[in-house]
């Protein structure tokens, strides 16, 4: 969306091109805005800063973190509610260092640790787009208030010191320019690692575990390292590009949850060149094998049916609390995924065997799909599966007990035999993922920190009184 100012600039360019009186500087500005717009799509700023159905980039989306809700800011060029008063330098600090215009630290729910990789030119382009290519909206986003001690934004300084790369990414001259572009997008703009890399105790991306799989709320972003068993080592470049563009790879995987959103808002719009660069880089991420896995998740299970077992059973039986997994499957799932779970031939309804969601050693995505369904719209059209996680009064709602029976039936007939779904897993996925111990740790940390300060103070006072007798005062240095 272009503002009046950039519209004038655009028409100035058209007119100057037509009349042959172009002045240097006008064309580059529109190019810069276009480049900024593309980057904002590649970086998926809208995923958090635009609410579904709301004004573009007006913020307000509540990002549910393990420590509470963090509201994404209004980043339209509004002076009162948005970032209209940000200078380019301040904008750069927000994106790459996580520091707001007023000097306060941002929470890492804003993926500045990834965006710290962005180049100066790209920051300039993004700034031009958000200044002149986006419409100002004067409605402020709700304020974030987290529980103590996470409400102390200063504490993020310590986090940044430990985990923020702190400089734009430099090309590796030993690698091809395609690999370098891929790394820039994967580690930086497209921030794949924010979801696919597991997090440590302090919510930092675990080093040495890049892309080996991480929890994102209710969903599990699987291992996408080059490992042929635990990762996607058996995927070709073309397959990975197809998955990123459409959210689907026949006979292997589909994107639901936050991956569906990333495909919808961002990846489907990337150029072939950029998608191919991403694939080139991802396919060379060092392999990480999950212990105990001997066959990849895309080759588990086969077609089978237990329909014969309950001939004569009425369809309402399949909805009762005591219904078996087979009954629940036939009553709720087989209408689309077909009776042997083989899916439709065109793949619109996928088979439930040879399917990442059922073949994985992490059953979260199977449970999350049953609860939340799938809803993904790309230029190829919409794919839709209803969720079965509604309130008990809803017609198609399944209880936790039913989901346990159903999921285990699917796993033992069509998927990963070594995994069992429990009612605890279903309850956790239903509430949107595990709560974290971070607040507890932070409190313990604060108590520990306070103790250390006191001890240091005592030590320093004693040292000072000792050294005073020698005539000098000094700070402890160790
Ligand atoms: C994964 C979610 C997410 C994505 C993606 C994201 N942001 Fe943010 N952003 C946030 C959240 C949440 C905040 C507020 C954090 C806080 O209050 O500490 C924020 C804050 C900001 C701020 C600070 C504004 C202020 O004064 O409060 C700027 C500027 C910003 N984002 C720009 C961007 C741009 C540009 C992009 C894309 C390149 C982007 N963000 C992508 C979540 C996101
Ligand atoms: C916002 C979080 C998020 C981001 C960002 C993200 N992913 Fe994902 N990704 C997921 C989730 C969740 C799934 C599981 C989806 C499902 O099975 O329905 C997934 C699935 C995948 C899969 C399929 C794996 C399988 O076994 O089914 C691939 C491949 C993948 N992502 C690649 C990428 C790449 C490459 C990027 C960056 C360009 C990326 N993802 C960015 C969350 C994310
Ligand atoms: C109305 C049709 C319909 C019904 C009923 C239905 N599904 Fe689906 N299912 C779909 C569609 C469509 C997709 C998504 C295909 C895609 O992503 O391209 C899907 C995808 C899935 C996936 C893969 C999700 C992922 O993230 O990889 C699983 C697992 C699944 N369904 C299980 C079930 C189960 C279990 C039931 C019964 C409780 C069920 N489905 C009922 C249509 C349906």
User: For residue 409, what is the domain's CATH number?
Assistant: 1.10.760.10
* Three-class DSSP labels, the chain: CCCHHHHHHHHHHHHHHHHCCCCCCHHHHHHHHHHHHHHHHHCCHHHHHCCCCCCCCCCCCEEEECCEEEECCCCCCCCCCCCCCCCHHHHHHHHHHCECCCCCECCCCCCHHHHCCCCHHHHHHHHHHHHHCCCCCCCCCCCCCCCCCCCCCCHHHHHHHHHCCCCCCCCCCCCCHHHHHHHHHHHHHCCCHHHHCCECCCCCECCCCCCCCEEECCEEECCCCCCCCCCCCCCCHHHHHHHHHHCEECCCEECCHHHHHHHHHCHHHCCHHHHHHHHHHHCCCCCCCCCCCCCCCCCCCCCCCCHHHHCCCCHHHHHCCCCCHHHHHHHHCHHHHCCCCCCCCCCCCCCCCCCHHHHCCCCHHHHHHHHHCEEEEECCEEEEECCCCCCCCCCCCCCHHHHHHHHHHHHHHHCCCCCCCCHHHHHHHHCCCCCCCHHHHHHHHHHHHHHHHHHHHHHHHHHHHHHHCCCCCCCCCC
Asked whether residue 42 falls in the same domain as residue 113, the answer is yes
pLDDT for residue 458: 54
Q: Which band of pLDDT confidence, cut at 50, 70 and 90, is reported for residue 9?
A: very low
For ligand 3, atom 9, the nearest C-alpha belongs to 385
In this prediction, residues 415-433 reach a mean pLDDT of: 93
Ligand 3: residues within 6 Å at CB?
Answer: 248, 254, 256, 332-333, 335-337, 349-350, 352, 355-358, 365-366, 369-370, 374, 383-386, 388, 410
Same domain, 132 and 25: yes
Range of the domain at 338: 307-430
Q: Please tell me whether residues 33 and 154 are part of one structural domain.
A: yes
Q: What's the pLDDT band for 446 if we cut at 50, 70, 90?
A: low
Q: Which of 158-162, 354-358, 403-407 has the lowest mean pLDDT?
A: 158-162
Query: Does the pLDDT value for residue 189 go beyond 70?
Result: yes
pLDDT, tens only, 194-234: 899 998 877 788 888 999 999 988 999 999 999 999 999 99
Of the candidate ranges 15-19, 272-276, 379-383, 449-453, the one whose mean pLDDT is the lowest: 15-19
Tell me: pLDDT of 146 over 60. yes
Query: Would you say residue 287 lies in a domain?
Result: no
Q: Is 109 in the pocket of ligand 1 (CB under 6 A)?
A: yes
Whether residue 28 sits in one domain with residue 8: yes
Is residue 43 within 8 Å of 122, Cβ to Cβ?
A: no
384 within some domain: yes
As given in the structure block, the two tokens for residue 243 are 């998955």
Residue 291 located in a structural domain: no
Segment 150-163 shows an average pLDDT of 82
For residue 38, give the ligand nearest its CA. Answer: 1
Q: Is residue 21's pLDDT more than 90?
A: no
* 136 and 87 together in one domain: yes
Ligand 2 pocket, residue 192 CB under 6 Å: yes
pLDDT for 285-311, tens place per residue? 999 998 878 889 998 998 888 765 554
Q: Which atom of ligand 2 is nearest to the CA of 220?
A: 12
User: Is residue 413 scored above 90 in pLDDT?
Assistant: yes
In a domain, 301, yes or no: no
Chain segment 245-293, per-residue pLDDT in tens: 999 999 999 999 999 999 999 999 999 999 999 999 999 999 999 887 8
- The span from the CA of 157 to the CA of 378, in Å, is 39
Q: Torsion over CA of 358, 362, 365 and 368, rounded to 10 degrees?
A: 120
Nearest ligand 1 atom to alpha carbon 126: 35
Testing ligand 2's pocket by substitution, the residue of 194, 248, 255, 276 carrying the most ligand atoms inside 8 A of its CB is 255
Distance between CA atoms of 365 and 411, rounded to whole angstroms? Answer: 12
CA dihedral 13→18→19→21, nearest 10 degrees, is 40
User: Are 66 and 100 contained in the same domain?
Assistant: yes
Q: Are residues 154 and 260 in the same domain?
A: no
Residue-level pLDDT at 150: 77
Number of domains in the chain: 4
Residue nearest to atom 36 of ligand 3 (CA): 333
Closest atom, ligand 2, to C-alpha of 240:
29
Rounded mean pLDDT, 404-423: 96
Residues 107 and 194 in one domain: no
Boundary residue ending a domain (108, 135, 163): 163
**256 pocket-lining for ligand 2 (C-beta < 6 Å):** yes
Query: Could you tell me if the CB of 101 is within 6 A of ligand 1?
Result: yes
State whether 40 and 154 are in the same domain: yes
Same domain, 269 and 363: no
pTM score of the predicted model: 0.86
Residue 193 alpha carbon to ligand 2 centre in Å: 9
Distance 100 CA to ligand 1 centre (A): 10
Query: Ligand 3 atom closest to Cα of 333?
Result: 37
Q: Are 263 and 376 in contact (CB under 8 A)?
A: yes
Work out the percent of the chain whose per-residue pLDDT is above 90. Answer: 63
The CATH number linked to 272 is: 1.10.760
- Expressed in angstroms and rounded, the spacing between residue 371 Cα and the centre of ligand 3 is 11
Is residue 456 in some structural domain?
A: yes
Same domain, 93 and 198: no
Residue nearest to atom 26 of ligand 3 (CA): 256
The mean of the pLDDT values for the chain is 84
103-125 pLDDT, tens digit each: 999 988 899 988 999 999 999 99
Are residues 49 and 23 located together in one domain of the fold? yes
Using alpha carbons only, give the angle 56, 61, 66 rounded to the nearest 5 degrees: 150
């Amino acid at each position: 969306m272009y503002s009046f100012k950039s519209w004038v600039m655009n028409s100035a360019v058209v007119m100057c091109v037509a009349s042959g009186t172009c002045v240097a500087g006008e064309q580059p500005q529109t190019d810069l805005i276009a480049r900024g717009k593309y980057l904002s799509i590649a970086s998926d700023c809208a995923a958090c800063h635009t609410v579904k159905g709301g004004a573009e980039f007006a913020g307000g989306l509540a990002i549910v973190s393990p420590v509470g809700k963090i509201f994404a800011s209004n980043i339209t060029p509004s002076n009162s509610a948005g970032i209209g008063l940000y200078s380019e330098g301040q904008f750069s600090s927000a994106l790459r260092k996580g520091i707001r215009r007023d000097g306060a630290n941002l929470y890492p729910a804003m993926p500045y640790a990834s965006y710290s990789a962005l180049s100066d030119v790209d920051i300039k382009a993004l700034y031009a787009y958000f200044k002149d290519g986006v419409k100002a909206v004067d409605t402020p986003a709700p304020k974030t208030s987290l529980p103590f001690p996470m409400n102390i934004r200063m504490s993020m300084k310590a986090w940044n010191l430990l985990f923020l790369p702190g400089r734009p990414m430099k090309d590796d001259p030993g690698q091809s320019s395609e690999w370098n572009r891929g790394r820039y997008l994967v580690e930086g703009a497209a921030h794949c690692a924010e979801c696919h890399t597991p997090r440590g105790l302090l919510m930092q991306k675990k080093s040495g575990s890049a892309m080996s799989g991480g929890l994102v709320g209710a969903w599990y972003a699987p291992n996408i390292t080059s490992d042929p068993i635990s990762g996607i080592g058996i995927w070709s470049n073309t397959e990975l590009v197809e998955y990123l563009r459409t959210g689907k790879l026949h006979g292997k995987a589909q994107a639901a949850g936050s991956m569906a959103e990333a495909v919808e808002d961002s990846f489907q719009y990337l150029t072939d060149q950029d998608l191919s660069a991403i694939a080139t880089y991802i396919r060379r991420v060092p392999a990480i094998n999950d212990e105990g896995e001997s066959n990849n998740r895309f080759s588990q299970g086969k077609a089978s049916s237990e329909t014969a077992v309950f001939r004569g059973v009425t369809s309402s039986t399949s909805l009762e609390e005591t219904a078996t997994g087979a009954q629940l499957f036939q009553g709720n799932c087989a209408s689309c995924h077909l009776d042997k779970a083989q899916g439709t031939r065109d793949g619109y309804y996928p088979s439930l065997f040879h399917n990442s969601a059922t073949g994985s050693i992490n059953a979260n995505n199977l449970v999350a799909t049953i609860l939340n369904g799938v809803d993904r719209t790309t230029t190829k059209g919409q794919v839709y599966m209803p969720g079965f996680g509604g309130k008990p009064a809803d017609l198609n709602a399944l209880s936790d007990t039913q989901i346990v029976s159903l999921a285990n039936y699917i796993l033992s007939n069509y998927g990963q035999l070594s995994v069992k779904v429990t009612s605890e897993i279903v309850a956790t996925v239903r509430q949107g993922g595990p709560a974290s111990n971070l607040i507890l740790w932070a409190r313990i940390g604060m108590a520990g920190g306070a103790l250390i300060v006191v001890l240091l103070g005592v030590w320093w006072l004693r040292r000072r009184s000792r050294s005073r007798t020698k005539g000098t005062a000094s700070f402890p240095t160790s």
